Amino acid sequence: MVKATQWLVLSATLVLSACVPQGPEVPSSAYDVVHAVNMESLPNQQWQLSDGVIQLSFCRNRVNEALMATEAELRRWRYAQDESSLPKQRQEGVQHLAYLYLEHDVMLWQVWGTFSSQLYRVAAPADADAPSIHHALAALGRDPSVCYSSLDSSAQR
């Protein structure tokens, strides 16, 4: 009876885990670049940031939740450069940012995030043209994974 119960619980777990929608698959190289940029204190010698800030809310609460972080937490993670200090679910959020980078050529650098939305600056290589916040907003606003997008005029540099 115990083995039958264990088998039933295991089967139910496998079925239910298969029902959880997964985020988009991205090559590890894209993930690595987006993750590395988001672990840096920017601007620096390699990367510049947009003056403006974009507010985004993703249609999947799992992505919003994975990107939850206060400005102080992000600063601490960037300073420590310690992978073990990051929440386990953060990888799913960064994977979605890598998907947006591949789809729209927009590198997002997170300023902060709540359960419902996040603020981002657009990052670009230091030797490239200044990142266009309006181009980024137009591209990201059309993406089906983004439920809300706007320019945030309240954020200061």
pLDDT in tens, 123-137: 999 999 999 999 999
Residue 85 has a pLDDT of: 84
Mean pLDDT of 74-87: 91
DSSP 139: H
**Separation of first and last alpha carbons in the chain:** 63
Q: Count, in order, helices (H) and strands (E) of the chain.
A: 6, 5
Write out the H or E segment, with its range, that includes residue 102.
Answer: helix 90-104
Nearest-CA neighbor of 82 among 24, 29, 25, 39? 39
| pLDDT tier for residue 20 given thresholds of 50, 70 and 90 | very low
pLDDT digits (tens, 9 = 90+) for 23-77: 678 899 999 999 999 999 999 999 999 999 999 999 999 999 999 999 999 999 9
Write out the H or E segment, with its range, that includes residue 149.
Answer: strand 146-152
CB atoms < 10 A from the CB of 140, how many? Answer: 20
More confident residue, 113 or 85: 113
| pLDDT tier for residue 9 given thresholds of 50, 70 and 90 | very low
Is this structure's pTM higher than 0.75? yes
Residue 40 has a pLDDT of: 97
pLDDT digits (tens, 9 = 90+) for 133-156: 999 999 999 999 999 999 987 755
Residues present in the chain in total? 157
Provide the Cα torsion 52, 58, 64, 69; round to 10°.
0
| pLDDT tier for residue 5 given thresholds of 50, 70 and 90 | low
